[in-house]
Structure 1
Amino acid sequence: MTSKGDLTRSRLAASMLELIQTSGYSGTGLNAVVEHAAAPKGSLYFHFPDGKEGLGVAAVDLAATQFEALIAQAARSTDSAAGAARAVIDALSTIVGESDFRWGCPVSVVALEMGAESERLRQACATAFESWISPTAALLEAGGVDGAEARTLATVVVSTIEGAVIVSRALRSTQPLASAAEVVAQLIEQRCRPAETAR
C-alpha cells in the first residue's frame, strides 16, 4: 500500500517534471512546484532535503520510467523493431502536438541546461538515456542485429528521436518527427533484413 508520504513525493516529482517541460529546469522555482503539486511547502524539504537538485533527479528518473514504459508498450504492439520505433515516435508526436508544442523531452532539457553544472543531474540524464538505449538494442537484437551493432544503432535511434522532438517544437510542426519515423524504420529494416535472410 502506498503511503501518504510516498504519494506526496511522487506528486512533487511529477509536478517538477511537467514544469521542466514548459519552463525549463532553470525557470522552474520550488514555490511553483509546491503550488502545482498542491503540497505543503515543508513536505518538499522533507522528501527532498537536497532541494531542487534532488527534485530534478527525481523528475528525470520519472521521465526515464515513463519513456521506458512507452518503449515496452510499443514493443508489445508489433512484431518488428521497425514497427516498435514507429509506434514510439508516433506516440511522441501526439504528445508534442497535443501540448501545442510546449512539451518535449525533459531529460534533454535538463542535460542541456545543467549537464555542465551538476554532475548529479548529468548522471541522472545519462542513466535515463541508457534506460532507453538498452531496451531498444534488445529489440534490435531480437530482430537479428548483432549485439555490438544493435547497441550502436539503438544509440542512433534514440539520438534521432531526441533531435526530432527538439526540431518539431522549434518549427511547431510534427513533420520532423514523421520524417524521423520514416528514416529510422527504414534504417532498422535494412539492418534486420540481412540477418533475417541469413536465417
Structure 2
Amino acid sequence: MTGPKGARTSARLAESMLELIQRDGYSGTGLNTVVAHAGAPKGSLYFHFPEGKEALGERAVELAATRFADLLADAARQSATPGAAVRHLTTVLAGLVEESDYQLGCPVSVVTLEMGGRSERLRAACARTFESWIAPVTELLVTHGRPRPAARALATAAVSMVEGAMIVSRAQRSTEPLHHAAIALAALLDHDAGPTP
C-alpha cells in the first residue's frame, strides 16, 4: 500500500503520460520519457504500474475522462440551453488547442485511433470514457425536454462531432472547425427541444 508520497508519484506519472500522449501520441511516448517528464524515480513506474505501459495509458485515459467531464459539467452549469453549453465547451477547447499551437488534442481519440484495434484494454478504456461524456449530455437534453432515445442519439452525435472538429482544427491549424461545429450543434440541440420541465 502506498502513502501520500506514492499517490503523488502515481498521479505525476499519469499526468505526464496524458500530456505526452496529447503531444506525441501513444506509440510515440516511451516509458523512459514519461519517467523523466514526471521527475519520478526510475523504479517508480513499475512499482505503481506493474502491468506496464497499457496500465499507465489506461490511467491517463481515465484522467482525461474526468477532466473533460468536469468541463462538460461546468459548461452545463453556466448555460441556459444545451446549445449554449456546447458553445461554451467548444470555446474552452478552442482556447486550449490554440494555446498549445495546435500540438495538443484529445488523448482519448489518439489512443482510440492508435491502439483501439491492438489493445482490448485500451479500447475498452476509451469506450468507457466516451460513454462518460455521452451520458451527461443525454441527461442534459432529457432535462430540456428531449425524449431519452432522441437525447441519447443527439448526445452521441454531439460528442462525435466535437471530437472530429478537434482533429480537423489541429490539421488545419485553425479553431474554425470547432466554432463551426458549435454553431451546427447549437442549432441541432436546441431545435424543437420543448419546454424545460
Alignment of 1:1-199 (within 5 A): 3-192=4-193, 195-196=194-195
In the aligned structure 1, how far is the partner of 2:147 from the partner of 2:84?
19
Q: AA paired with 1:57?
A: E
RMSD between aligned residues? 1.2
In the aligned structure 1, how far is the partner of 2:160 from the partner of 2:146?
19
Secondary structure in structure 2 of the residue aligned to 1:196: coil
TM-score for both structures, normalised by structure 1: 0.96
Unaligned runs of 5+ in 1: none
- Give how far 1:196 is off: 2.1
In the aligned structure 2, how far is the partner of 1:161 from the partner of 1:6?
33
Residue correspondences, number: 195
Residues 145-173 of structure 1: per-residue CA shift (max 9 Å, x gap): 10010000000000000000000000000
- Give how far 1:80 is off: 1.2
Q: Quick check: which one's helix share is greater? A: 1
Identity between Structure 1 and Structure 2 (%)? 58
Q: AA paired with 1:50?
A: E
Residues 132-156 of structure 1: per-residue CA shift (max 9 Å, x gap): 0000101111110100100000000
TM-score for both structures, normalised by structure 2: 0.97
Runs of 4+, deviation exceeding 4 Å: none
- Give how far 1:187 is off: 0.3
In the aligned structure 1, how far is the partner of 2:84 from the partner of 2:140?
11
Q: AA paired with 2:134?
A: I
In the aligned structure 2, how far is the partner of 1:34 from the partner of 1:171?
32
